[in-house]
Structure 1
Amino acid sequence: MRNLLIILLCFQVGITFSQEEDRAEIIAEADRYVANGNEVLQKDGNFPKAEGEYRKAISKNPIDAVAKYNLANAYYNTEKYDEANNRYVEAAKTATTKKEKHKAFHNQGNTFMEQKKYKEAVEAYKNALRNNPKDDETRYNLALAKKMLEKQQNEDKGGDGDKDKDQNKDDNKDKENKDKKDGENKEDKKEGGDEKDQKGDEGEDKKDEKGKDEEDKQDDPNEDGKEKKKDNKEGEGKPEEKKQQPQQVQGQLSPQQVKSLLEAMNNEERKVQDKINAKKAKGAKTKTEKDW
Protein backbone atom coordinates (compact mmCIF):
# COMPACT_ATOMS: atom_id res chain seq x y z
CA MET A 1 0.00 0.00 0.00
CA ARG A 2 2.81 2.32 0.89
CA ASN A 3 4.56 1.57 -2.38
CA LEU A 4 1.36 2.42 -4.27
CA LEU A 5 1.16 5.82 -2.64
CA ILE A 6 4.74 6.53 -3.57
CA ILE A 7 4.06 5.55 -7.16
CA LEU A 8 0.99 7.81 -7.33
CA LEU A 9 2.91 10.72 -5.83
CA CYS A 10 5.73 10.32 -8.34
CA PHE A 11 3.19 10.17 -11.16
CA GLN A 12 1.53 13.40 -10.00
CA VAL A 13 4.88 15.17 -9.74
CA GLY A 14 5.73 14.00 -13.23
CA ILE A 15 2.46 15.36 -14.62
CA THR A 16 2.95 18.71 -12.91
CA PHE A 17 6.50 18.97 -14.17
CA SER A 18 5.36 18.10 -17.68
CA GLN A 19 2.62 20.75 -17.59
CA GLU A 20 5.05 23.39 -16.42
CA GLU A 21 7.43 22.37 -19.15
CA ASP A 22 4.68 22.66 -21.75
CA ARG A 23 3.63 26.03 -20.35
CA ALA A 24 7.19 27.34 -20.56
CA GLU A 25 7.42 26.16 -24.13
CA ILE A 26 4.17 27.92 -25.03
CA ILE A 27 5.36 31.18 -23.48
CA ALA A 28 8.69 30.92 -25.29
CA GLU A 29 6.98 30.30 -28.61
CA ALA A 30 4.63 33.26 -28.10
CA ASP A 31 7.59 35.47 -27.25
CA ARG A 32 9.29 34.43 -30.51
CA TYR A 33 6.22 35.51 -32.47
CA VAL A 34 6.25 38.87 -30.71
CA ALA A 35 9.95 39.32 -31.43
CA ASN A 36 9.41 38.48 -35.09
CA GLY A 37 6.58 41.00 -35.29
CA ASN A 38 8.73 43.71 -33.75
CA GLU A 39 11.60 42.97 -36.13
CA VAL A 40 9.65 43.04 -39.40
CA LEU A 41 7.83 46.16 -38.29
CA GLN A 42 10.92 48.10 -37.29
CA LYS A 43 13.26 47.00 -40.07
CA ASP A 44 10.93 46.57 -43.02
CA GLY A 45 7.86 48.49 -41.93
CA ASN A 46 5.83 45.46 -43.00
CA PHE A 47 2.66 45.98 -40.99
CA PRO A 48 0.61 43.06 -42.42
CA LYS A 49 3.34 40.54 -41.59
CA ALA A 50 3.91 42.05 -38.14
CA GLU A 51 0.17 41.94 -37.46
CA GLY A 52 0.17 38.23 -38.35
CA GLU A 53 3.03 37.50 -35.96
CA TYR A 54 1.34 39.35 -33.11
CA ARG A 55 -1.91 37.49 -33.71
CA LYS A 56 -0.05 34.16 -33.57
CA ALA A 57 1.44 35.16 -30.23
CA ILE A 58 -1.97 36.13 -28.86
CA SER A 59 -3.46 32.85 -30.05
CA LYS A 60 -0.62 30.88 -28.48
CA ASN A 61 -0.68 32.72 -25.16
CA PRO A 62 -3.99 34.63 -24.69
CA ILE A 63 -3.26 35.67 -21.12
CA ASP A 64 -0.11 37.56 -22.07
CA ALA A 65 -0.56 41.35 -22.44
CA VAL A 66 2.65 42.04 -24.37
CA ALA A 67 1.49 40.82 -27.79
CA LYS A 68 -1.85 42.67 -27.43
CA TYR A 69 -0.08 45.86 -26.42
CA ASN A 70 2.42 45.72 -29.29
CA LEU A 71 -0.35 45.00 -31.79
CA ALA A 72 -2.29 48.00 -30.42
CA ASN A 73 0.77 50.21 -30.96
CA ALA A 74 1.06 48.95 -34.55
CA TYR A 75 -2.58 49.84 -35.18
CA TYR A 76 -2.07 53.27 -33.60
CA ASN A 77 0.94 54.07 -35.82
CA THR A 78 -1.06 53.14 -38.94
CA GLU A 79 -3.99 55.34 -37.77
CA LYS A 80 -6.31 52.38 -37.19
CA TYR A 81 -7.56 53.97 -34.01
CA ASP A 82 -10.63 51.83 -33.34
CA GLU A 83 -8.61 48.61 -33.60
CA ALA A 84 -5.87 50.13 -31.46
CA ASN A 85 -8.34 51.09 -28.74
CA ASN A 86 -9.79 47.56 -28.61
CA ARG A 87 -6.33 46.02 -28.21
CA TYR A 88 -5.34 48.54 -25.50
CA VAL A 89 -8.46 47.56 -23.56
CA GLU A 90 -7.48 43.88 -23.83
CA ALA A 91 -3.91 44.63 -22.78
CA ALA A 92 -5.09 46.57 -19.72
CA LYS A 93 -7.36 43.70 -18.68
CA THR A 94 -4.70 40.98 -18.98
CA ALA A 95 -1.82 43.06 -17.58
CA THR A 96 -0.55 41.74 -14.27
CA THR A 97 1.45 44.77 -13.09
CA LYS A 98 0.57 48.42 -12.53
CA LYS A 99 3.36 49.43 -14.88
CA GLU A 100 1.80 47.49 -17.76
CA LYS A 101 -1.69 48.83 -16.98
CA HIS A 102 -0.38 52.40 -16.85
CA LYS A 103 1.18 52.16 -20.31
CA ALA A 104 -1.94 50.58 -21.82
CA PHE A 105 -4.23 53.32 -20.43
CA HIS A 106 -1.78 56.08 -21.39
CA ASN A 107 -1.67 54.99 -25.03
CA GLN A 108 -5.42 54.47 -25.04
CA GLY A 109 -5.76 58.13 -24.04
CA ASN A 110 -3.52 59.11 -26.97
CA THR A 111 -5.80 57.13 -29.29
CA PHE A 112 -8.88 59.00 -28.06
CA MET A 113 -7.07 62.32 -28.50
CA GLU A 114 -6.42 61.52 -32.15
CA GLN A 115 -10.14 60.84 -32.59
CA LYS A 116 -11.03 64.10 -30.76
CA LYS A 117 -12.89 62.06 -28.14
CA TYR A 118 -11.64 64.27 -25.35
CA LYS A 119 -14.05 63.05 -22.67
CA GLU A 120 -12.90 59.44 -23.14
CA ALA A 121 -9.27 60.58 -23.26
CA VAL A 122 -9.63 62.28 -19.86
CA GLU A 123 -10.89 59.04 -18.31
CA ALA A 124 -8.09 56.97 -19.90
CA TYR A 125 -5.38 59.31 -18.59
CA LYS A 126 -6.97 59.25 -15.13
CA ASN A 127 -6.82 55.45 -15.16
CA ALA A 128 -3.18 55.64 -16.20
CA LEU A 129 -2.36 57.97 -13.30
CA ARG A 130 -4.12 55.66 -10.85
CA ASN A 131 -1.53 53.04 -11.74
CA ASN A 132 1.40 55.47 -11.87
CA PRO A 133 0.66 58.84 -10.20
CA LYS A 134 4.23 60.09 -10.75
CA ASP A 135 4.24 60.02 -14.56
CA ASP A 136 4.59 63.63 -15.80
CA GLU A 137 3.77 62.81 -19.43
CA THR A 138 0.40 61.35 -18.48
CA ARG A 139 -0.32 64.34 -16.23
CA TYR A 140 0.52 66.73 -19.07
CA ASN A 141 -1.73 64.82 -21.49
CA LEU A 142 -4.56 64.83 -18.95
CA ALA A 143 -4.38 68.61 -18.59
CA LEU A 144 -4.38 69.01 -22.38
CA ALA A 145 -7.36 66.66 -22.77
CA LYS A 146 -9.34 68.66 -20.18
CA LYS A 147 -8.55 71.91 -21.97
CA MET A 148 -9.62 70.53 -25.34
CA LEU A 149 -12.82 69.08 -23.84
CA GLU A 150 -13.75 72.46 -22.36
CA LYS A 151 -13.08 74.17 -25.68
CA GLN A 152 -15.19 71.58 -27.52
CA GLN A 153 -18.11 72.06 -25.11
CA ASN A 154 -17.93 75.85 -25.46
CA GLU A 155 -17.95 75.58 -29.24
CA ASP A 156 -21.02 73.35 -29.11
CA LYS A 157 -22.83 75.86 -26.91
CA GLY A 158 -21.66 78.75 -29.10
CA GLY A 159 -22.99 77.04 -32.22
CA ASP A 160 -26.47 76.78 -30.71
CA GLY A 161 -26.29 80.41 -29.63
CA ASP A 162 -25.37 81.57 -33.13
CA LYS A 163 -28.37 79.72 -34.54
CA ASP A 164 -30.68 81.47 -32.07
CA LYS A 165 -29.14 84.84 -32.88
CA ASP A 166 -29.56 84.28 -36.61
CA GLN A 167 -33.19 83.29 -36.07
CA ASN A 168 -33.85 86.40 -33.98
CA LYS A 169 -32.10 88.52 -36.59
CA ASP A 170 -34.33 87.14 -39.34
CA ASP A 171 -37.45 87.68 -37.22
CA ASN A 172 -36.44 91.29 -36.52
CA LYS A 173 -35.76 91.88 -40.19
CA ASP A 174 -39.18 90.54 -41.17
CA LYS A 175 -40.79 92.74 -38.54
CA GLU A 176 -38.93 95.82 -39.83
CA ASN A 177 -40.02 95.11 -43.39
CA LYS A 178 -43.63 94.68 -42.23
CA ASP A 179 -43.54 97.93 -40.22
CA LYS A 180 -42.03 99.76 -43.17
CA LYS A 181 -44.70 98.44 -45.51
CA ASP A 182 -47.46 99.39 -43.07
CA GLY A 183 -45.97 102.87 -42.76
CA GLU A 184 -45.92 103.31 -46.54
CA ASN A 185 -49.56 102.23 -46.79
CA LYS A 186 -50.57 104.69 -44.08
CA GLU A 187 -48.65 107.48 -45.85
CA ASP A 188 -50.38 106.69 -49.15
CA LYS A 189 -53.80 106.78 -47.47
CA LYS A 190 -52.95 110.05 -45.78
CA GLU A 191 -51.83 111.64 -49.05
CA GLY A 192 -55.06 110.47 -50.68
CA GLY A 193 -57.06 112.10 -47.91
CA ASP A 194 -55.12 115.35 -48.29
CA GLU A 195 -55.81 115.41 -52.03
CA LYS A 196 -59.51 114.93 -51.31
CA ASP A 197 -59.47 117.77 -48.78
CA GLN A 198 -57.57 119.88 -51.30
CA LYS A 199 -60.28 119.41 -53.94
CA GLY A 200 -62.95 120.19 -51.38
CA ASP A 201 -61.17 123.42 -50.41
CA GLU A 202 -60.86 124.40 -54.06
CA GLY A 203 -64.60 123.91 -54.58
CA GLU A 204 -65.42 126.06 -51.55
CA ASP A 205 -63.08 128.80 -52.79
CA LYS A 206 -64.72 128.82 -56.20
CA LYS A 207 -68.15 128.97 -54.61
CA ASP A 208 -67.15 131.91 -52.37
CA GLU A 209 -65.59 133.79 -55.27
CA LYS A 210 -68.71 133.33 -57.39
CA GLY A 211 -70.89 134.69 -54.60
CA LYS A 212 -68.67 137.76 -54.23
CA ASP A 213 -68.85 138.49 -57.93
CA GLU A 214 -72.63 138.45 -57.82
CA GLU A 215 -72.64 140.87 -54.91
CA ASP A 216 -70.21 143.20 -56.66
CA LYS A 217 -72.37 143.11 -59.74
CA GLN A 218 -75.46 144.15 -57.87
CA ASP A 219 -73.80 146.85 -55.70
CA ASP A 220 -71.60 148.50 -58.37
CA PRO A 221 -72.46 147.81 -62.04
CA ASN A 222 -69.96 150.47 -63.29
CA GLU A 223 -66.35 150.16 -64.45
CA ASP A 224 -65.14 150.04 -60.88
CA GLY A 225 -67.29 146.99 -60.39
CA LYS A 226 -65.73 145.41 -63.44
CA GLU A 227 -62.31 146.19 -62.07
CA LYS A 228 -63.22 144.55 -58.77
CA LYS A 229 -64.59 141.57 -60.60
CA LYS A 230 -61.35 141.36 -62.50
CA ASP A 231 -59.35 141.49 -59.30
CA ASN A 232 -61.47 138.79 -57.77
CA LYS A 233 -61.14 136.68 -60.84
CA GLU A 234 -57.39 136.81 -60.63
CA GLY A 235 -57.53 135.22 -57.20
CA GLU A 236 -60.18 132.71 -58.23
CA GLY A 237 -59.36 129.00 -57.89
CA LYS A 238 -56.05 129.52 -56.11
CA PRO A 239 -55.63 126.31 -54.06
CA GLU A 240 -54.21 126.21 -50.58
CA GLU A 241 -50.66 124.97 -50.43
CA LYS A 242 -50.48 121.20 -49.91
CA LYS A 243 -49.15 120.14 -46.54
CA GLN A 244 -45.85 118.37 -46.92
CA GLN A 245 -45.59 114.92 -45.40
CA PRO A 246 -42.43 114.01 -43.50
CA GLN A 247 -40.17 111.95 -45.73
CA GLN A 248 -38.07 109.04 -44.53
CA VAL A 249 -34.38 109.92 -44.34
CA GLN A 250 -32.43 107.72 -46.76
CA GLY A 251 -29.48 105.77 -45.29
CA GLN A 252 -30.53 106.22 -41.66
CA LEU A 253 -30.44 102.95 -39.61
CA SER A 254 -33.09 102.00 -37.10
CA PRO A 255 -32.01 101.12 -33.53
CA GLN A 256 -32.71 97.42 -34.24
CA GLN A 257 -30.53 97.49 -37.38
CA VAL A 258 -27.71 99.13 -35.39
CA LYS A 259 -28.04 96.39 -32.74
CA SER A 260 -27.97 93.63 -35.39
CA LEU A 261 -24.89 95.20 -37.01
CA LEU A 262 -23.06 95.34 -33.67
CA GLU A 263 -23.94 91.68 -32.97
CA ALA A 264 -22.60 90.66 -36.39
CA MET A 265 -19.34 92.54 -35.71
CA ASN A 266 -19.01 90.86 -32.29
CA ASN A 267 -19.60 87.43 -33.86
CA GLU A 268 -16.87 88.05 -36.45
CA GLU A 269 -14.46 89.20 -33.74
CA ARG A 270 -15.25 86.06 -31.66
CA LYS A 271 -14.67 83.78 -34.69
CA VAL A 272 -11.26 85.38 -35.29
CA GLN A 273 -10.36 84.90 -31.61
CA ASP A 274 -11.49 81.24 -31.74
CA LYS A 275 -9.24 80.63 -34.76
CA ILE A 276 -6.28 82.16 -32.86
CA ASN A 277 -7.03 79.97 -29.81
CA ALA A 278 -7.41 76.89 -32.03
CA LYS A 279 -3.96 77.50 -33.54
CA LYS A 280 -2.47 77.84 -30.07
CA ALA A 281 -4.15 74.62 -28.89
CA LYS A 282 -3.09 72.82 -32.06
CA GLY A 283 0.54 73.48 -31.28
CA ALA A 284 0.31 71.49 -28.04
CA LYS A 285 0.69 67.80 -28.80
CA THR A 286 0.20 64.76 -26.66
CA LYS A 287 3.25 62.89 -25.52
CA THR A 288 4.27 59.91 -27.59
CA GLU A 289 3.03 56.40 -26.87
CA LYS A 290 4.92 54.27 -24.39
CA ASP A 291 6.65 51.05 -25.43
CA TRP A 292 7.12 47.94 -23.34
Structure 2
Amino acid sequence: MNFKGLPFLFLVFTSALSWSQNEVANNLIVDGNEAHEQAEYIDAEAQYRKAVSLAPEKSEALHNLGNTNYRIEDYSAASQRFFQTQKNTTSKNEKHAAFHNLGNVYMQQKDYAQAVAAFKNGLRNNPTDEETRYNYALAKELLEKEQQQDQQDEQNQDNQDQDQDKEDQDKEGDQEKKDEKGDQEDPKDEGEDKDKKEGEDGESEDDSKEKPEEDKPKNPEKEGEGDEKKQPPPQPKPGQISPEQVKSLLEAMNNQEKGVQEKVNAQKVKGTPVKTKKDW
Protein backbone atom coordinates (compact mmCIF):
# COMPACT_ATOMS: atom_id res chain seq x y z
CA MET A 1 0.00 0.00 0.00
CA ASN A 2 1.66 3.17 -1.18
CA PHE A 3 0.63 6.00 1.10
CA LYS A 4 2.77 8.87 2.26
CA GLY A 5 4.97 8.77 5.38
CA LEU A 6 4.89 10.10 8.94
CA PRO A 7 5.49 13.74 9.82
CA PHE A 8 8.02 14.17 12.62
CA LEU A 9 7.80 16.87 15.28
CA PHE A 10 10.92 18.67 16.49
CA LEU A 11 11.60 20.51 19.69
CA VAL A 12 9.68 23.65 20.52
CA PHE A 13 10.62 25.20 23.86
CA THR A 14 7.72 26.35 26.02
CA SER A 15 7.62 28.60 29.01
CA ALA A 16 5.24 26.26 30.85
CA LEU A 17 8.09 24.02 31.94
CA SER A 18 10.78 24.93 34.36
CA TRP A 19 14.14 25.46 32.75
CA SER A 20 15.64 22.26 34.21
CA GLN A 21 12.64 20.00 33.31
CA ASN A 22 12.47 21.51 29.87
CA GLU A 23 16.18 20.92 29.32
CA VAL A 24 16.01 17.29 30.47
CA ALA A 25 12.86 16.54 28.41
CA ASN A 26 14.35 18.21 25.33
CA ASN A 27 17.56 16.20 25.69
CA LEU A 28 15.53 12.98 25.96
CA ILE A 29 13.58 13.86 22.82
CA VAL A 30 16.85 14.55 20.96
CA ASP A 31 18.24 11.20 22.05
CA GLY A 32 15.02 9.51 20.99
CA ASN A 33 15.12 11.17 17.58
CA GLU A 34 18.69 9.99 16.98
CA ALA A 35 17.81 6.43 17.95
CA HIS A 36 14.72 6.56 15.73
CA GLU A 37 16.77 7.69 12.72
CA GLN A 38 19.11 4.75 13.31
CA ALA A 39 16.05 2.44 13.38
CA GLU A 40 16.80 1.67 17.01
CA TYR A 41 13.12 1.83 17.87
CA ILE A 42 13.28 0.14 21.26
CA ASP A 43 15.85 2.68 22.50
CA ALA A 44 13.90 5.52 20.90
CA GLU A 45 10.69 4.39 22.59
CA ALA A 46 12.44 4.36 25.99
CA GLN A 47 13.73 7.92 25.54
CA TYR A 48 10.35 9.25 24.47
CA ARG A 49 8.59 7.57 27.38
CA LYS A 50 10.97 9.28 29.82
CA ALA A 51 10.27 12.62 28.20
CA VAL A 52 6.50 12.08 28.39
CA SER A 53 6.75 11.15 32.07
CA LEU A 54 8.56 14.44 32.77
CA ALA A 55 6.27 16.55 30.57
CA PRO A 56 2.97 14.73 29.74
CA GLU A 57 1.63 17.77 27.91
CA LYS A 58 4.71 18.07 25.67
CA SER A 59 3.30 17.15 22.24
CA GLU A 60 6.68 16.50 20.56
CA ALA A 61 7.52 13.57 22.90
CA LEU A 62 4.02 12.10 22.68
CA HIS A 63 3.81 12.40 18.90
CA ASN A 64 7.27 10.90 18.28
CA LEU A 65 6.47 8.06 20.71
CA GLY A 66 3.47 7.32 18.48
CA ASN A 67 5.79 7.22 15.46
CA THR A 68 8.00 4.67 17.20
CA ASN A 69 4.95 2.52 18.09
CA TYR A 70 3.94 2.67 14.44
CA ARG A 71 7.38 1.51 13.27
CA ILE A 72 7.28 -1.56 15.51
CA GLU A 73 3.70 -2.22 14.29
CA ASP A 74 2.07 -1.58 17.64
CA TYR A 75 -0.83 0.14 15.91
CA SER A 76 -3.14 0.19 18.91
CA ALA A 77 -0.57 2.12 21.00
CA ALA A 78 0.29 4.38 18.05
CA SER A 79 -3.34 5.42 17.50
CA GLN A 80 -3.65 6.33 21.18
CA ARG A 81 -0.49 8.51 21.03
CA PHE A 82 -1.60 10.37 17.90
CA PHE A 83 -5.12 10.92 19.18
CA GLN A 84 -3.80 12.25 22.49
CA THR A 85 -1.38 14.56 20.62
CA GLN A 86 -4.08 16.28 18.54
CA LYS A 87 -6.19 16.61 21.65
CA ASN A 88 -3.46 18.24 23.76
CA THR A 89 -2.11 20.72 21.22
CA THR A 90 -3.57 23.94 19.91
CA SER A 91 -1.19 24.15 16.96
CA LYS A 92 -2.78 23.48 13.58
CA ASN A 93 0.47 22.06 12.24
CA GLU A 94 0.72 19.62 15.15
CA LYS A 95 -2.94 18.70 14.79
CA HIS A 96 -2.45 18.15 11.06
CA ALA A 97 0.58 15.89 11.66
CA ALA A 98 -1.27 13.91 14.35
CA PHE A 99 -4.36 13.34 12.16
CA HIS A 100 -2.20 12.42 9.16
CA ASN A 101 -0.34 9.75 11.14
CA LEU A 102 -3.58 8.55 12.74
CA GLY A 103 -4.98 8.03 9.22
CA ASN A 104 -1.92 5.95 8.34
CA VAL A 105 -2.55 3.71 11.35
CA TYR A 106 -6.15 3.09 10.21
CA MET A 107 -4.93 2.31 6.69
CA GLN A 108 -2.66 -0.41 8.08
CA GLN A 109 -5.63 -1.84 9.99
CA LYS A 110 -7.77 -1.66 6.80
CA ASP A 111 -10.27 0.51 8.64
CA TYR A 112 -10.85 2.74 5.62
CA ALA A 113 -13.82 4.62 7.04
CA GLN A 114 -11.77 5.81 10.03
CA ALA A 115 -8.81 6.58 7.75
CA VAL A 116 -10.97 8.82 5.53
CA ALA A 117 -12.19 10.72 8.60
CA ALA A 118 -8.63 11.17 9.97
CA PHE A 119 -7.18 12.43 6.67
CA LYS A 120 -10.12 14.79 6.24
CA ASN A 121 -9.40 16.29 9.67
CA GLY A 122 -5.75 16.62 8.67
CA LEU A 123 -6.72 18.60 5.56
CA ARG A 124 -8.92 20.88 7.62
CA ASN A 125 -5.85 21.89 9.62
CA ASN A 126 -3.57 22.07 6.55
CA PRO A 127 -5.44 22.07 3.22
CA THR A 128 -2.23 22.45 1.20
CA ASP A 129 -0.53 19.20 2.26
CA GLU A 130 -0.46 17.00 -0.86
CA GLU A 131 0.58 13.83 0.99
CA THR A 132 -2.48 14.07 3.23
CA ARG A 133 -4.68 14.78 0.19
CA TYR A 134 -3.25 11.78 -1.67
CA ASN A 135 -3.80 9.48 1.31
CA TYR A 136 -7.33 10.82 1.72
CA ALA A 137 -8.19 10.03 -1.94
CA LEU A 138 -6.69 6.56 -1.66
CA ALA A 139 -8.57 5.77 1.55
CA LYS A 140 -11.83 6.99 0.00
CA GLU A 141 -11.35 4.81 -3.09
CA LEU A 142 -10.61 1.73 -1.00
CA LEU A 143 -13.65 2.44 1.16
CA GLU A 144 -15.93 2.65 -1.90
CA LYS A 145 -14.58 -0.67 -3.23
CA GLU A 146 -15.10 -2.25 0.16
CA GLN A 147 -18.69 -1.01 0.30
CA GLN A 148 -19.36 -2.29 -3.22
CA GLN A 149 -17.92 -5.66 -2.29
CA ASP A 150 -20.04 -5.74 0.84
CA GLN A 151 -23.13 -4.97 -1.22
CA GLN A 152 -22.22 -7.66 -3.72
CA ASP A 153 -21.63 -10.17 -0.96
CA GLU A 154 -24.95 -9.24 0.61
CA GLN A 155 -26.70 -9.60 -2.75
CA ASN A 156 -25.06 -12.95 -3.34
CA GLN A 157 -26.16 -14.06 0.10
CA ASP A 158 -29.71 -12.90 -0.58
CA ASN A 159 -29.72 -14.78 -3.89
CA GLN A 160 -28.36 -17.85 -2.19
CA ASP A 161 -31.03 -17.61 0.50
CA GLN A 162 -33.74 -17.20 -2.15
CA ASP A 163 -32.44 -20.20 -4.08
CA GLN A 164 -32.40 -22.22 -0.89
CA ASP A 165 -35.93 -21.11 -0.03
CA LYS A 166 -37.14 -22.08 -3.52
CA GLU A 167 -35.43 -25.44 -3.26
CA ASP A 168 -37.03 -26.04 0.12
CA GLN A 169 -40.45 -25.05 -1.23
CA ASP A 170 -40.03 -27.39 -4.21
CA LYS A 171 -39.13 -30.22 -1.87
CA GLU A 172 -42.15 -29.48 0.30
CA GLY A 173 -44.40 -29.41 -2.78
CA ASP A 174 -43.04 -32.74 -4.01
CA GLN A 175 -43.55 -34.24 -0.58
CA GLU A 176 -47.14 -32.96 -0.42
CA LYS A 177 -47.86 -34.52 -3.82
CA LYS A 178 -46.42 -37.82 -2.65
CA ASP A 179 -48.52 -37.65 0.51
CA GLU A 180 -51.70 -36.91 -1.48
CA LYS A 181 -50.97 -39.77 -3.86
CA GLY A 182 -50.34 -42.04 -0.93
CA ASP A 183 -53.66 -41.02 0.67
CA GLN A 184 -55.51 -41.85 -2.57
CA GLU A 185 -53.92 -45.28 -2.74
CA ASP A 186 -54.61 -46.06 0.91
CA PRO A 187 -58.20 -47.48 0.45
CA LYS A 188 -56.97 -49.98 -2.11
CA ASP A 189 -54.08 -50.90 0.04
CA GLU A 190 -56.38 -51.30 3.00
CA GLY A 191 -58.66 -53.58 0.93
CA GLU A 192 -55.72 -55.65 -0.20
CA ASP A 193 -54.46 -55.84 3.34
CA LYS A 194 -57.92 -56.89 4.52
CA ASP A 195 -58.24 -59.58 1.81
CA LYS A 196 -54.77 -60.75 2.62
CA LYS A 197 -55.61 -60.92 6.30
CA GLU A 198 -58.87 -62.79 5.61
CA GLY A 199 -56.99 -65.17 3.36
CA GLU A 200 -54.49 -65.79 6.06
CA ASP A 201 -57.29 -66.34 8.56
CA GLY A 202 -58.96 -68.80 6.14
CA GLU A 203 -55.75 -70.67 5.66
CA SER A 204 -55.36 -70.82 9.40
CA GLU A 205 -58.87 -72.31 9.72
CA ASP A 206 -58.19 -74.85 6.94
CA ASP A 207 -54.94 -75.76 8.57
CA SER A 208 -56.72 -76.33 11.82
CA LYS A 209 -59.29 -78.55 10.02
CA GLU A 210 -56.57 -80.58 8.34
CA LYS A 211 -54.74 -81.28 11.56
CA PRO A 212 -54.50 -84.99 12.38
CA GLU A 213 -56.81 -86.38 14.96
CA GLU A 214 -54.10 -86.53 17.56
CA ASP A 215 -53.59 -82.77 17.27
CA LYS A 216 -57.27 -82.03 17.85
CA PRO A 217 -58.64 -81.71 21.32
CA LYS A 218 -60.44 -84.88 22.31
CA ASN A 219 -64.22 -84.93 22.81
CA PRO A 220 -64.91 -85.82 26.41
CA GLU A 221 -68.23 -87.46 25.46
CA LYS A 222 -66.66 -89.64 22.79
CA GLU A 223 -63.86 -90.45 25.09
CA GLY A 224 -66.45 -91.54 27.57
CA GLU A 225 -68.12 -93.76 24.96
CA GLY A 226 -64.83 -95.35 24.12
CA ASP A 227 -64.17 -96.00 27.74
CA GLU A 228 -67.61 -97.60 28.10
CA LYS A 229 -66.93 -99.92 25.16
CA LYS A 230 -63.72 -100.99 26.65
CA GLN A 231 -65.34 -101.73 30.04
CA PRO A 232 -66.55 -105.32 30.73
CA PRO A 233 -70.33 -105.90 30.66
CA PRO A 234 -71.96 -105.17 33.95
CA GLN A 235 -72.60 -108.18 36.16
CA PRO A 236 -76.25 -108.71 37.20
CA LYS A 237 -77.04 -108.16 40.78
CA PRO A 238 -78.58 -110.99 42.82
CA GLY A 239 -82.28 -111.38 41.96
CA GLN A 240 -81.89 -109.63 38.60
CA ILE A 241 -81.92 -111.23 35.10
CA SER A 242 -79.04 -110.38 32.85
CA PRO A 243 -79.65 -109.21 29.28
CA GLU A 244 -78.24 -112.50 27.99
CA GLN A 245 -80.71 -114.45 30.10
CA VAL A 246 -83.57 -112.33 28.82
CA LYS A 247 -82.44 -112.97 25.26
CA SER A 248 -82.23 -116.71 25.90
CA LEU A 249 -85.70 -116.78 27.43
CA LEU A 250 -87.12 -114.92 24.50
CA GLU A 251 -85.50 -117.31 22.07
CA ALA A 252 -86.81 -120.29 24.06
CA MET A 253 -90.30 -118.85 24.08
CA ASN A 254 -90.15 -118.24 20.35
CA ASN A 255 -88.93 -121.74 19.73
CA GLN A 256 -91.66 -123.17 21.97
CA GLU A 257 -94.31 -121.15 20.22
CA LYS A 258 -92.97 -122.29 16.88
CA GLY A 259 -93.13 -125.89 17.95
CA VAL A 260 -96.69 -125.58 19.12
CA GLN A 261 -97.67 -124.02 15.81
CA GLU A 262 -96.03 -126.84 13.88
CA LYS A 263 -97.95 -129.41 15.87
CA VAL A 264 -101.23 -127.67 15.22
CA ASN A 265 -100.54 -127.58 11.53
CA ALA A 266 -99.64 -131.24 11.52
CA GLN A 267 -102.91 -132.19 13.13
CA LYS A 268 -104.84 -130.23 10.52
CA VAL A 269 -103.15 -132.12 7.77
CA LYS A 270 -103.89 -135.49 9.29
CA GLY A 271 -107.57 -134.75 9.81
CA THR A 272 -108.24 -133.88 6.21
CA PRO A 273 -109.24 -136.86 4.09
CA VAL A 274 -107.46 -137.47 0.84
CA LYS A 275 -109.72 -137.86 -2.13
CA THR A 276 -108.97 -140.95 -4.20
CA LYS A 277 -111.78 -140.53 -6.68
CA LYS A 278 -113.10 -137.70 -8.67
CA ASP A 279 -116.38 -136.26 -7.69
CA TRP A 280 -118.91 -136.57 -10.37
TM-score by length of 2: 0.54
- Residues 252-263 of structure 1: matches in 2 within 5 Å? none
Cross-structure match for 1:131: 125
Secondary structure of 1:110's counterpart equals: helix
More helix by percentage: 1
The residue number in structure 1 matching 2:32 is 37
Q: Are 1:118 and 2:112 counterparts?
A: yes
- Tell me the CA shift for residue 128 of structure 1: 0.6
1:57-96 to 2 correspondences below 5 Å: 57-96=51-90
In the alignment, structure 1 residue 159 sits paired with structure 2 residue 153 = yes
Q: Which amino acid is 2:134 matched to?
A: Y
1:25 counterpart (4, 7, 20):
20
Is 45-54 or 109-118 further displaced after alignment?
45-54
Letter paired with 1:163: Q
Distance between the aligned counterparts of 1:24 and 1:139, measured in 2? 39
Matches of 2:93 and 2:102, distance apart in 1: 14
Measured in 2, the distance between the counterparts of 1:129 and 1:163 equals 38
Scaled by the length of structure 1, what TM-score is found?
A: 0.52
Structure 1 residues 95 and 185 mapped into 2: Cα distance closer, same or farther (>3 Å)?
A: closer
What is the CA-CA distance between 1:158 and the residue it aligns to?
A: 2.7
Following TM superposition, by how much is the alpha carbon of 1:47 offset from its aligned partner in structure 2, in angstroms? 2.6
The count of corresponding residues between Structure 1 and Structure 2 is 173
Q: Percent identity of the aligned residues?
A: 39
Deviation at 1:122, TM superposition (A): 1.4
Deviates more, 1:174-183 or 1:100-109: 174-183
Could you tell me how far 1:34 is from its partner in structure 2? Answer: 1.0
The 1:186–1:60 alpha-carbon spacing in structure 2 relative to 1, beyond 3 Å, is closer
Deviation of 1:21 (Å): 11
Inter-CA distance 29–179: structure 2 relative to 1 (3 Å threshold): same
Determine if contact 2:103/2:114 at 8 Å carries over to the other structure.
Answer: yes
Code of the aligned partner of 2:65: L
Shift of residue 51, structure 1, vs aligned partner: 1.3
Q: What is the match of residue 176 of structure 1?
A: 170
Amino acid at match of 1:36: D
**Structure 1: segments with no counterpart, 5+ residues:** 1-19, 192-292
Which residue number corresponds to residue 286 of structure 1? none
Which residue number in structure 1 is paired with residue 92 of structure 2? 98
Q: Which residue of 1 aligns with 2:138?
A: 144
Task: State the SS of the aligned residue for 1:99.
Answer: helix
| Cα distance between partner residues in 2 of 1:186 and 1:46 | 81
> Secondary structure at the residue paired with 1:160?
helix
**Unmatched 5+ residue regions in structure 2?**
1-14, 186-280
Tell me if structure 1 keeps the 8 A contact 2:29–2:47.
yes
Structure 1 residues 122 and 22: alpha-carbon distance in aligned structure 2, compared to 1, 3 A threshold: closer
Change (3 A) 1:160 1:21: closer
What's the secondary structure of 1:79's corresponding residue? coil
Deviates more, 1:110-119 or 1:155-164: 155-164
Paired letter, 1:90 = Q
Say if 1:155 and 1:175 are closer, same or farther in 2 by CA, change over 3 A. Answer: same
Distance 1:22 1:114, change over 3 A: closer
**Distance across 2 between alignment mates of 1:184 and 1:21:** 89
Judge which range, 32-41 or 66-75, deviates more: 32-41
Q: Distance in 2 between matches of 1:123 and 1:21?
A: 32
**Aligned mates of 1:22, 1:141 — CA distance in 2:** 36
Map of 2:8 onto structure 1: none
Q: Shift of the alpha carbon at 1:150?
A: 2.0
